[in-house]
Structure 1
Amino acid sequence: MSDKIEMTVTINPLVSPLLFERLSACTSARHRATILKSLAETTLRQELTGYVHAPAQTKTQAYSPPPAAGARAAGGIDNEGFQVLRVDDSGHESAGFGDELGGQLAGYFE
């Protein structure tokens, strides 16, 4: 058995936009391979140690608590252009909706 694994990996912006953007910034195939290896090994180390690191935010955002439940009028939702949906509102969808959507998206993942 060989002590190395050879692979060809295709990364496109539709399936992995963040990874594609990061690897697109590399100037050579060797640099892309180094970055990809580094990302994979870092993820494996985190899984082994149980350490989960939240991704860094690109912008700092001030926290503002949500308004109290009674602070908004029930009609306020209509004024904002939102529609409240409940679980039973999806009963009019056909049972094969997921299958239809899966069929339409299947071409992207082949």
Structure 2
Amino acid sequence: MDNLLTISEETAQVWSLLGTLAGTLLLLALTLWASAQITRQARDLWLAVRGHRGTIIAAVDDPTDALIQQLARLSHVPGSVWAAALPAFLGALADSLDQIARIPPADE
């Protein structure tokens, strides 16, 4: 009976390699699936936020805005610099996200 349960070393190595291959393929498939889900959710989020582009940019164009003051305090860069640069950066970011998501640019 003991002879029926033993396998050769070569057979054990083959099964070990097959298990490693199966595990690697499963991990790759799960990674690709998760990437697709994250990409879809990020695109859906951008589509939801994109309609408020003008409001968001207008909310950070004054040196007295709370976000601008917080950034100035944390970075030691004057609020006037943040107020000038942040709207341009957010506009460029929005255009880039539209291009990546293959969405025609919004006319605002």
Shorter-chain TM-score tier = under 0.3
Instruction: Tell me which structure has the larger Cα radius of gyration.
Output: 2
TM-score between both structures, scaled by the size of structure 1: 0.25
TM-score between both structures, scaled by the size of structure 2: 0.26
Higher relative contact order (CA 8 A, sep 6+): 2
Name whichever structure is richer in helix by fraction: 2
